[in-house]
Each structure stands twice: as structure tokens, then as C-alpha cells.
């Protein structure tokens, strides 16, 4: 690429090029907006800076090639170039800033108001007056975006793999640009049979093949039915949601009791509840397996729901107790003297006030139940088997189906993302809690 | 409205006796203030009346009905909390309507009553905002509105002005007083601020260490304190309390300082102390007149309070006497002065029982 002799696979080069453009393109607008300039100017500047630093990066790689050769570790080369490029990008941004009419010292940049600002000669707020604060914001944004991008690499990689063909998925060096195919998804969702050459020839003659049949035919396979994956995903959904609802509901009631009433041996009970979390779950899988077999709970939805509820309960009691403790008692007492029963007061006052805590607990409980692997592997076989232990079983015969695994993981990721995103407003604990205290 | 009767009501938290058995009758339409330092049991008493705290012993009678074990919602009592306890997730209107909804009132009635009470408290302009954005005074008005809207038998207020700025406190004090007069509602009001208590109460219940020290009108607790605690606690500064020894119509306070007891006290003291004994002399700062006769003292400090001057007089190097003087009075520190006491304002206390010595009034 770029006619340079670079000791790295194509992918990394493309990736880092995009990476820098991304950083430039996202941080610069943030800075510009803070300074009251139009966002498009920031995007433009960021783009330019990104491209420049991308090129700088290429040059750096060439320069660093001997280093990478010496330590025999291309990763080190990448690491060093990331750091150097980050510094360069900041210098470049700072330099570009001189060409834009910026807010001078003592000119207030008030985020809340928007638009050009009237000059203020005095303020006790350092962030209003000191222009270096803006650079701090820029650096902060850069770091955040870098971390976000770095932590998203595996997810993006998984998403890409899900759409790769079997050959592309295992290609070395990895392919960044490839021809997307639904092969992974189809092999995830279907059962197939390997065809002989004669059969392939015969199949090719047929007119009644659906698009997915044709995709698979290219691999010499015929679809003979649905796979279990959808069923497993549905099991996961049922078990995770029911156990989440149960553990949050029970946890809320018990946390309320712990928070509001004098309970004999309260401290000991709370510690006992917590102690159920002290053992690594794997340690108790075998005893639980034996118990479940005796009780007929092995491979049942009820069994898994009970288990996850029990495991999440300790967590939800503790978490919710903290949230309920922060709701002033007077709130309910006011409702009590106003003529409500305790249950009504709980429903009308405590529930709306504890919504942040309930949301947080719901997300955490759901994620635990959704992701749990060890118990699900041991205690289910078919009827109640959840998605996590079934994804590796897609591995298949005749080579690992990486595309199918990636597709399965992607589908597995979606519900958690949906739950977390739909509750994210309530997860901003600080924001809501300020309001409660003031009330 | 309502009469509230406490009969031998007490409260224990484990080993801690929060309120020792107390009797108290609050008459219909009365404004009773529970006054005392923090931790004296006044708030616990109020919470027991409301039903938020269960009694350990005794009975609570509301309008002739025994409500000792009734649920708070069955007592027809409104409670105003120190920190307002407004629901931050509801608007002001919903907050005020909240108790009416519990009673299952119709929408139309609720709307009317909310409007009525909002007009009374001048909070019509904030009805549709959330309490979070209100000023302290407005929040307290909303809390009062929520109490008033139900037209309850009695109001219980737990330091409702404690969380307000000094400026608002004055205004709200007047407003609560005015509301009380207009509504003529039985009110029990808890405070640790004696100025508030004096200004607002028809009667004051002074509490300390879980015990009722005195029940009386503001004038009674101020002028005729039942014991040393009340004498010292009420007033700012409190009553001057000086130890001395009584004998033959004179109290010897210090070497060379003695106070000739007014004639109308002599027979009582002779009788109570069997002719001679230790006694505590008590008098308010305003009972002191600095003049050329009387007891000798030196000026320790003088504070100008705007309307008057507070003199601190050193009595024999051991005790400071507070004296209230006209604002024009000013003495350099160390000046030797003499002071006399207004005979009608002098009180005596028993140093052992700490109780006031009561003068027999001869008809």
C-alpha cells in the first residue's frame, strides 16, 4: 500500500488509517463546538488532520520497520506509532486552531447558552476563562474515542466475520475488504448434508432453489432442516427475562424490608445473602447437577430460571437496598399520613423514585443470566439449553465454521444491547439522584 | 376540629427511653409548640401522635376516639416534614392532589380544592412545575398546601421552618400563624427555636431528656419557669441563675454581695427553707437596673444589640450576670457599677431538686 514496504498486513494499515481519520473527525468537532464554531468546520478540520496523520502514520511505519524487525514484533511497532501519532494529532489540532478566530482568554465560553458569547472579564469558574481547558477537553475526547474504538475492535471484527465466506474468515493476512455473504447466518440456522459431485450437478439443474439453497450449494451442501439455534436463543430469552423479572421483584421487596424495617439480625441476614455469592458458581455445579437430576429439574426452563433467580437475588438485594436507602423515609411517611397504605405508598412513591436502581439491577441481572455458560452447559442438554453453550456446538464437522460462530455471537449480543440501551436513561444515576435529593 | 389527648404515652428504642410517660391534652383549635434541644423526644412525640411511630405504652385519644394503634392513614391528621417530603417525580399540582386521591375524591373536587388551597397559599403560578425547581419558601408552601388540602382534624409540623433561610423563616412564620388563625386548626408544632415557639404557640411544651419539663403559655414559661432547665433554656440569654445562701430575709451571694429578698417572698422562703438554706436566685436580664445602689459588680463586656445594650457584669469574679440596658448605655470595661433587681421579676429555685420555689399567694 502506498508503494511502501510495510511489515504489516493490509488489514492493520487500513484499520489504522480509518482509525486516525475517525479520531480526527470526532474530536475536532467536539473542540470546535465548545468554542462556538460550526460543527462542519470541525468535521472538515478533523478530516484533514485525520488524513494527514494517517499519512504520517504510514511514514512512521516505514521508519519504524527496522525496530519492528529487531524485536520481531510488529505489535510493538504499532503501539509506538499509535502514541507518536496521538501526540502529532494533538499538535496538529493545536496548530490548526490558530487559523480559527477563537475565544480569547476572559471571553466566556458557556456551553449551556450556545452561539457567540458576550465577553466576560471576571468569572470564578476556571473553565469559563482558561483557554487551556479547551485543550484538556480535546485530549479527553481523544482518549475516550481511542478507548471506545479499541474496545469496539473485537465487536467490529466479529460483525465482519459473520458476513465472510468460509475461506475469507480464515484468510491470512485477514481480509478487511471482502465480498459479504450470508453463508455464516445460513449455516448457523440450518442443518445441512454434504452432497456428492453427482448430486451437486443434479441440484444445479433444479429451478426451485431458494437463494439460501444456492449459497449453500456453492459449498456443496444441501439444507435439510432448521438448526436448533433459534430454539436456543428463545430459551435464553425466556430464562433470562423471567429470572430477571423474578430476581428484581423479589430483590426489591426484600431490599425495601431491609431498608425500612427493624429486622432482627439484619446485618447477619444481609451477610448471609451476600455469602451465596462468595463461591465461584462452577464449584457448586456438580452438587446442583445431582440435586436437579433427583428433583427432575434437569434440562427444564423452571430449573434454570430458579437457579439464575437465586444467583441474582443476592446481587439485586444489595444493589437495590443501596438505592432505597437513599430515598428519604419522609416520602413514604408523608404518603402514609396522607391516607395511603404502605403497599400503595410503596407503589406510588418508592417505585418511581427507585427507578434508576431498578433499571441498573435489571440490566446487570439480565446480562448475568444471558451470558451464563457453566451452569447452562452442565444442567441443560436440549429442551432448555440456552444460547451460550450452543454456540460452540455450531463448530461443525470438517473445519471450524467461524462465520457461523460470529453470526451466532452477533445475534446473541443484540438483546443485551437492546435492554441496556433502552434503560440507559435511568442508568445515569447521578443525574436522577440529584433531583431526588432536591425534592 | 380536634382534641388530642396523650395519656402516659412513652417510647423506648431498645434500652433508650426516648419519651418517658407523658400526659398532655391539646385543645380544639390550639397551637401547641413542642420545644426542646435536639434529642429531647419532641419529634418522637409528634411521630407517635401521627402514628408513624408505635407507642411503647400509654394511649392516644383523638376526638374521644382511641387511636393508639390506628394506622396513620386512619387518623385524619396531616404531617408537615422538615425537609418538605415533596415527591420530585410529581408536579406541584399532583403533589397537592396526592392526599385527595387517597380519599378517592372526584376529579372535579380535587381540581377545585387544589385551586382553592393554591390561592390561599399564593402558589398558583407554580402548580405545573416540579418541586425541584422551587425556592425553599415555595416548597414549604406546597408542603403546607398538601397538608391543608385535606382539611384534616389536626396538623402536625416537624420543624417546618428548620430548612429555610433566615429571611424566609420570618415570612413563613407569619404565614403559618395567619393560616392557623384563619383555619382555626388544632396544630402541634415541633421546634428547637425558642423564639419561634414564643412567637407562635398558644402553649409551649418544654421537653428535655425525654421528660416534659413544663407546659404553659409563652408568658408562663418565660416568667415562671418550672425549673432550672426551663429558666436557662428559654430566653436569649437565659435567666441569670446565681447560687446563694438564704438567711433571715437576705440571700448571700458572694463575699460582700447579698440580696435583700422582697418582703412578699420572705414568708415563703422562711417556710420552704426552714429559716436558712441554699437557694438559687433567678432573674431575667431585663429585671436588672444599673444604678448607684444595690449589688456591686464590674463591667465585663458590653454588646450593642441595636435596640438595646446587653451588659455582662462580673459578680465577684465567679459569675457573669447578663443585664439588659437602654441602647444609650455604655460603660468601659472594668467600670465598677451597682445594680438592683425588679422585685416582681425575681424567682427562686431549689438547688437540689432544681425546681422553682412557688410563692404562696395570699389573698
Q: Which residues of B touch A330 (CB under 8 A)?
A: 81, 83, 85
B180 touches chain A (CB under 8 A): no
B267: domain CATH number? 2.40.50.140
Residue B139 lies in a domain: yes
CA atoms A375, A377, A378, A384: torsion sign: positive
- Length of chain A counted residue by residue: 439
Which residues, in sequence order, are CB contacts of B258 under 8 Å at separation 6+?
Answer: B244, B250, B251, B252, B295
Q: Which residues of B touch A339 (CB under 8 A)?
A: 73, 99, 102-103, 150
B158/B153 Cα distance (integer angstroms): 17
If 0-12 CB within 10 Å is exposed, 13-18 middle and 19+ buried, where does residue A438 land? middle
Q: A398 vs A193, A194, A349, A421, CA distance in Å?
A: 12, 10, 60, 39
A94/A134 Cα distance (integer angstroms): 10
Residue A93 backbone zone (phi > 0: left; psi -120 to 50: alpha; other: beta): alpha
B362 touches chain A (CB under 8 A): no
Torsion of CA A147, A148, A151, A157, to 10 degrees: -130
Residues of chain B with pLDDT under 70: 1, 361-363
Point out the residue among A337, A339, A439 whose CB comes nearest to the CB of B87.
Answer: A439
Based on the structure, what is the number of domains in chain B? 2
The Cα of B236 is separated from the nearest Cα of chain A by a number of Å equal to 32
Residue B362 lies in a domain: no
Point out the residue among B78, B84, B132 whose CB comes nearest to the CB of A337.
Answer: B78
Q: What is the predicted pLDDT for the residue at A124?
A: 47
The Cα of A370 is separated from the nearest Cα of chain B by a number of Å equal to 32
Q: A335 vs B73, B99, B112, B361, CA distance in Å?
A: 8, 7, 21, 51
Domain range for B268? 241-349
A125/B47 Cα distance (integer angstroms): 45
DSSP string, B105-162: --HHHHHHHHHHHHHHTT-GGGTTS-GGGS-HHHHHHHHHHHHHTT--SEEEEESTTT
B305 touches chain A (CB under 8 A): no
Q: Rg of the Cα trace of chain A?
A: 29
Closest CA to B81 of A336, A52, A255, A419: A336
First-residue to last-residue Cα distance in chain A? 62
The B residues from 265 to 304 touching A (CB cutoff 8 Å) are: none
**Cell numbers 425553599: residue:** B136
Whether residue A353 and residue B88 make contact (CB cut-off 8 A), yes or no, is: yes
Point out the residue among A336, A337, A439 whose CB comes nearest to the CB of B86.
Answer: A439
Question: A144 and A290: one domain?
Answer: no
Question: B316 and B204: one domain?
Answer: no
Complex ipTM over 0.95 = no
Q: A54 vs A3, A59, A61, A297, B221, CA distance in Å?
A: 15, 9, 11, 58, 85
Question: B16 and B86: one domain?
Answer: yes
Q: B202 vs A78, A92, A353, A420, B196, CA distance in Å?
A: 83, 76, 39, 58, 12
Q: Please state, as a whole number, how many other Cβ atoms lie within 10 Å of the Cβ of residue A410.
A: 18
Question: A273 and A200: one domain?
Answer: no
Mutate to test the interface with B, among A333, A337, A346, A350 (most CBs of B within 10 A): A337
Q: Phi first, then psi: give them for residue A273, nearest 5 degrees.
A: -60, -40
Q: Phi first, then psi: give them for residue B46, nearest 5 degrees.
A: -60, -40
Q: What is the predicted pLDDT for the residue at B45?
A: 92
Residue A174 lies in a domain: no
Question: B246 and B228: one domain?
Answer: no
Q: B205, B233, B261: which is the final residue of a domain?
A: B233
Which residues, in sequence order, are CB contacts of B106 under 8 Å at separation 6+?
Answer: none
CA atoms A380, A384, A390, A391: torsion sign: negative
Question: A222 and A242: one domain?
Answer: no
Q: Which residues of B touch A335 (CB under 8 A)?
A: 98, 102
Whether residue B102 and residue A338 make contact (CB cut-off 8 A), yes or no, is: yes
The Cα of B218 is separated from the nearest Cα of chain A by a number of Å equal to 29
B38 touches chain A (CB under 8 A): no
Question: B51 and B173: one domain?
Answer: yes
Q: Which residues of A touch B89 (CB under 8 A)?
A: 352-353, 439
Question: A43 and A136: one domain?
Answer: yes
Residue A172 lies in a domain: no
Domain range for A285? 230-438
Question: B71 and B160: one domain?
Answer: yes
The Cα of A314 is separated from the nearest Cα of chain B by a number of Å equal to 29
Point out the residue among A333, A435, A436 whose CB comes nearest to the CB of B79.
Answer: A333
Contact criterion met (CB below 8 Å) for B180 and B187: yes
DSSP string, B40-94: SSHHHHHHHHHTSS--SEEEEEETTEE-TT--GGGS-EEEE-TT----TTS-HHH
Q: What is the pLDDT along chain A (439 residues), one digit of tens a residue?
A: 344 444 455 555 666 666 666 666 666 666 666 666 666 776 776 677 667 766 766 676 666 656 555 555 555 556 666 666 667 666 666 665 555 544 444 344 444 444 444 433 344 444 444 455 555 556 666 677 777 777 787 888 888 888 888 888 887 777 777 888 888 888 888 888 888 888 888 888 887 888 888 888 888 888 888 888 888 889 999 999 999 999 999 999 999 999 988 888 888 988 888 888 888 877 888 889 999 999 999 999 999 999 999 989 988 999 899 889 888 888 888 888 888 888 888 998 889 888 888 988 998 899 899 989 888 988 988 888 888 888 777 665 566 788 888 888 888 888 888 888 888 777 765 434 433 443 3
Based on the structure, what is the number of domains in chain A? 3
Closest CA to B68 of B14, B20, B157, B8: B8
Count residue pairs from A and B with Cβ separation < 8 A. Answer: 73
The Cα of A430 is separated from the nearest Cα of chain B by a number of Å equal to 15
Q: Which residues of A touch B75 (CB under 8 A)?
A: 337
Q: What is the predicted pLDDT for the residue at B166?
A: 80
Mutate to test the interface with A, among B86, B87, B145, B155 (most CBs of A within 10 A): B87
Residue of chain B minimizing CA distance to A341: B73
Whether residue A337 and residue B52 make contact (CB cut-off 8 A), yes or no, is: yes
The Cα of A254 is separated from the nearest Cα of chain B by a number of Å equal to 21
Question: B207 and B76: one domain?
Answer: yes
Question: B18 and B144: one domain?
Answer: yes
A352 touches chain B (CB under 8 A): yes
Q: Which residues of B touch A346 (CB under 8 A)?
A: none
Question: B55 and B203: one domain?
Answer: yes
Residue B359 lies in a domain: no
A209-240 pLDDT per residue, tens: 888 888 888 888 888 888 888 888 899 999 99
Question: A85 and A213: one domain?
Answer: no
**Cell numbers 433554656: residue:** B233
Q: What is the predicted pLDDT for the residue at A205?
A: 82
Residue of chain B minimizing CA distance to A338: B99
Contact criterion met (CB below 8 Å) for B86 and A439: yes
Residue A1 lies in a domain: no
B33/B198 Cα distance (integer angstroms): 9
CA atoms B94, B97, B100, B104: torsion sign: negative
Q: What is the predicted pLDDT for the residue at A103?
A: 43
Whether residue B102 and residue A353 make contact (CB cut-off 8 A), yes or no, is: no
Amino acid at each position: 500500500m502506498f508503494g511502501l514496504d510495510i511489515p504489516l498486513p493490509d488489514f492493520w494499515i487500513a484499520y489504522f488509517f480509518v482509525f486516525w481519520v475517525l479520531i480526527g473527525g470526532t474530536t475536532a468537532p467536539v473542540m470546535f463546538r465548545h468554542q462556538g464554531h460550526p460543527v462542519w468546520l470541525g468535521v472538515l478540520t478533523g478530516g484533514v488532520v485525520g488524513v494527514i496523520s494517517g499519512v504520517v502514520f504510514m511514514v512512521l511505519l516505514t521508519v519504524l520497520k527496522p525496530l519492528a524487525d529487531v524485536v520481531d514484533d510488529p505489535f510493538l511497532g504499532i503501539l509506538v506509532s499509535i502514541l507518536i501519532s496521538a501526540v502529532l494529532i494533538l499538535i496538529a489540532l493545536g496548530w490548526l486552531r490558530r487559523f480559527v478566530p477563537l475565544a480569547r482568554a476572559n471571553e466566556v465560553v458557556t456551553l449551556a447558552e450556545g452561539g457567540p458569547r458576550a465577553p466576560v472579564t471576571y468569572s470564578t469558574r476556571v473553565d469559563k476563562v482558561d483557554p487551556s481547558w479547551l485543550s484538556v477537553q480535546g485530549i479527553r475526547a481523544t482518549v475516550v474515542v481511542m478507548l471506545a474504538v479499541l474496545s469496539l475492535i473485537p465487536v467490529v471484527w466479529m460483525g465482519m466475520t459473520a458476513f465472510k465466506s468460509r475461506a475469507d474468515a480464515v484468510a491470512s493476512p485477514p481480509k478487511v475488504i471482502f465480498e459479504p455473504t450470508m453463508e455464516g447466518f445460513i449455516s448457523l440456522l440450518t442443518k445441512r448434508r454434504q452432497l456428492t459431485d453427482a448430486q451437486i450437478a443434479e441440484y444445479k439443474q433444479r429451478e426451485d432453489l431458494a437463494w439460501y439453497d444456492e449459497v449453500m450449494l456453492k459449498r456443496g451442501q444441501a439444507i435439510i432442516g432448521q438448526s436448533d439455534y433459534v430454539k436456543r436463543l428463545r430459551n435464553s430469552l425466556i430464562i433470562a427475562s423471567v429470572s430477571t423479572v423474578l430476581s428484581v421483584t423479589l430483590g426489591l421487596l426484600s431490599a425495601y424490608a431491609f431498608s425500612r424495617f427493624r429486622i432482627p439480625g439484619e446485618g447477619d441476614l444481609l451477610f448471609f445473602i451476600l455469602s451465596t455469592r462468595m463461591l465461584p458458581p462452577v464449584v457448586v455445579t456438580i452438587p446442583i447437577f445431582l440435586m436437579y437430576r433427583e428433583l427432575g429439574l434437569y434440562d427444564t426452563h423452571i430449573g434454570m430460571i430458579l437457579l439464575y433467580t437465586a444467583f441474582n437475588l443476592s446481587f439485586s438485594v444489595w444493589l437495590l437496598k443501596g438505592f432505597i436507602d437513599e430515598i428519604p423515609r419522609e416520602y413514604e411517611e408523608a404518603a402514609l399520613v396522607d391516607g395511603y397504605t404502605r403497599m400503595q405508598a410503596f407503589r406510588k412513591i418508592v417505585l418511581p423514585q427507585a427507578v434508576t436502581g431498578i433499571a441498573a439491577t435489571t440490566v446487570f441481572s439480565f446480562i448475568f443470566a444471558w451470558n451464563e455458560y457453566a451452569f447452562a452447559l452442565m444442567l441443560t442438554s436440549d429442551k432448555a439449553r440456552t444460547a451460550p453453550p450452543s454456540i460452540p456446538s455450531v463448530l461443525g464437522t470438517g473445519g471450524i465454521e467461524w462465520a457461523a460462530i460470529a453470526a451466532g455471537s452477533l445475534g446473541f449480543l443484540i438483546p443485551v444491547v437492546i435492554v441496556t440501551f433502552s434503560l440507559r436513561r435511568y442508568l445515569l444515576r447521578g443525574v436522577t439522584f440529584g433531583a431526588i435529593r432536591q425534592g | 376540629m380536634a382534641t388530642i389527648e396523650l395519656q402516659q404515652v412513652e417510647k423506648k428504642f431498645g434500652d433508650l427511653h426516648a419519651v418517658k410517660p407523658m400526659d398532655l391534652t391539646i385543645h380544639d383549635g390550639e397551637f401547641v409548640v413542642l420545644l426542646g434541644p435536639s434529642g429531647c423526644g419532641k419529634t418522637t412525640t409528634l411521630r407517635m401522635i401521627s402514628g408513624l411511630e408505635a407507642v411503647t405504652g400509654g394511649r392516644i385519644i383523638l376526638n374521644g376516639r382511641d387511636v393508639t394503634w390506628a394506622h396513620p392513614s386512619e387518623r385524619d391528621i396531616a404531617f408537615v416534614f422538615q425537609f418538605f417530603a415533596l415527591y420530585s417525580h410529581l408536579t406541584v399540582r399532583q403533589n397537592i392532589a396526592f392526599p385527595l386521591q387517597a380519599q378517592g375524591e372526584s376529579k372535579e373536587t380535587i381540581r377545585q380544592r387544589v385551586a382553592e388551597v393554591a390561592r390561599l397559599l399564593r402558589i398558583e403560578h407554580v402548580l405545573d412545575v416540579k418541586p425541584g425547581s422551587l425556592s425553599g419558601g415555595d416548597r414549604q408552601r406546597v408542603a403546607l398546601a398538601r397538608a391543608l388540602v385535606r382539611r384534616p382534624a389536626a396538623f402536625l409540623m416537624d420543624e417546618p421552618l428548620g430548612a429555610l433561610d433566615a429571611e424566609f423563616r420570618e415570612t413563613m412564620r407569619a404565614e403559618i400563624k395567619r393560616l392557623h388563625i384563619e383555619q382555626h386548626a388544632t396544630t402541634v408544632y415541633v421546634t428547637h427555636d425558642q423564639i419561634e415557639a414564643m412567637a407562635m404557640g398558644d402553649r409551649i411544651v418544654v421537653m428535655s431528656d425525654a421528660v416534659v419539663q413544663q407546659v404553659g403559655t409563652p408568658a408562663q414559661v418565660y416568667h415562671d419557669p418550672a425549673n432550672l432547665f426551663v429558666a436557662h433554656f428559654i430566653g436569649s440569654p437565659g435567666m441569670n441563675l446565681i447560687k446563694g445562701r438564704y438567711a433571715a430575709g437576705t440571700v448571700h451571694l458572694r463575699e460582700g454581695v447579698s440580696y435583700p429578698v422582697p418582703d412578699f417572698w420572705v414568708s415563703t422562703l422562711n417556710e420552704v427553707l426552714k429559716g436558712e438554706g441554699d437557694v438559687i436566685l433567678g432573674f431575667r436580664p431585663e429585671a436588672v437596673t444599673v444604678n448607684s445602689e444595690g449589688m456591686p459588680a464590674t463591667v465585663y463586656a458590653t454588646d450593642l444589640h441595636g435596640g438595646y445594650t446587653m451588659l455582662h457584669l462580673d459578680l465577684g469574679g465567679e459569675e457573669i450576670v447578663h443585664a439588659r440596658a437602654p441602647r444609650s448605655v455604655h460603660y468601659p470595661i472594668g467600670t465598677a457599677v451597682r445594680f438592683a433587681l425588679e422585685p416582681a421579676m425575681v424567682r427562686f429555685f431549689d438547688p437540689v431538686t432544681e425546681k422553682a420555689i412557688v410563692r404562696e399567694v395570699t389573698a
